Amino acid sequence: MKKILVTILFALYGLMATAQLGWEAGGWLGTSYYFGDLNTSFNLSKPGIAGGLIGRWNFNDRLCLKFGANYGNISAYDADSKNSYEKARNLSFKSVIIDGTAQFEFNFLPYIHGSKDQFYTPYLFTGFSVFYFNPKAEYNGEFVELRPLGTEGQFKGDEYYTVQGALTYGIGFKIDLSYEWSLNFELSARRLFSDYLDDVSTVYPDMDDLEAQRGQIAVDLSDRSMVGPNEIKIGQAGRQRGDKNNNDTYVMFGIGLVYYFGDIRCPPYSR
């Protein structure tokens, strides 16, 4: 058993000794997209501005631990849908996203800053994110927060939380500009633990109860359906408003400029 442990320790030492240890830090700019109950067709016509900060610790030329702080804007409109029911439902929202994330990153190729041959690589990553959101909808020319209105009949105090968690995953490509500077191209997605990023998840509430609890604005923003003059509005109590079995997602794509603070570690030798 001791021989096995010694062998493992020497292997790890050899891996770390030849590694390119060190921190990288930088920033990125790009776009953000939302996919969920108000964008079931993966419409990409409404990108939001996004950006953030990157911090990365290189364990070796293959493995990294990356931290990020990100900001994005997302929005969606049933009016853009080609689905007749969604178009008649006529819901919409917009939200700011503030995102903090930790990810493990794997380089497909050995990546060494300053190398003439190993100065680029595609990579995969996965991790966990915590994010803040606050969906709003336009009402009489102003944007109104939807969460406090309980648009799906939530009792006061039982509304969804605006800070939630998510699984993070994605792909990227990094390439050196010099020994210190590199460009990172990255597409990342967040699979949320919540289905309320867009304030839509389950069924329409009883509108009389909603008005009694939250007021007329809550009723108006819960059911914004566009129907003919002789038709009943969509928002009947218990009728499907969203799909609670399929949580929302947001995606960020960006180009980052990153500075490397470390140096190349060579294995020690004896004469």
| Cα gap 146→198, rounded to integer Å | 9
Q: Structural domain boundaries of the chain?
A: 18-260
Q: Are 133 and 99 in contact (CB under 8 A)?
A: no
pLDDT at 14: 46
Per-residue pLDDT reduced to its tens digit, 126-176: 999 999 999 999 999 999 999 999 999 999 999 999 999 999 999 999 999
- The C-alpha atoms of residue 130 and residue 99 are separated, in whole angstroms, by 6
Q: Which residues pair with 254 in a beta bridge?
A: 30, 186
Is the pLDDT at 123 greater than 50, yes or no? yes
Residue range 212-226, pLDDT digits in tens: 999 999 999 999 998
Q: What is the pLDDT of residue 2?
A: 56
For residues 82 and 41, the answer to whether their CB atoms sit within 8 Å is yes
Interatomic CA distance for residues 226 and 223, integer angstroms: 9
Q: Look at 236 and 12; give whichever has higher pLDDT.
A: 236
18-260 folds as Porin (2.40.160)
pLDDT of residue 17: 42
Query: Averaged over 2-11, what is the pLDDT?
Result: 49
45-77 burial code (b ≥16 CB/10 A, e <16): ebbbebbbebebebebbbebebebebbbbbbbb
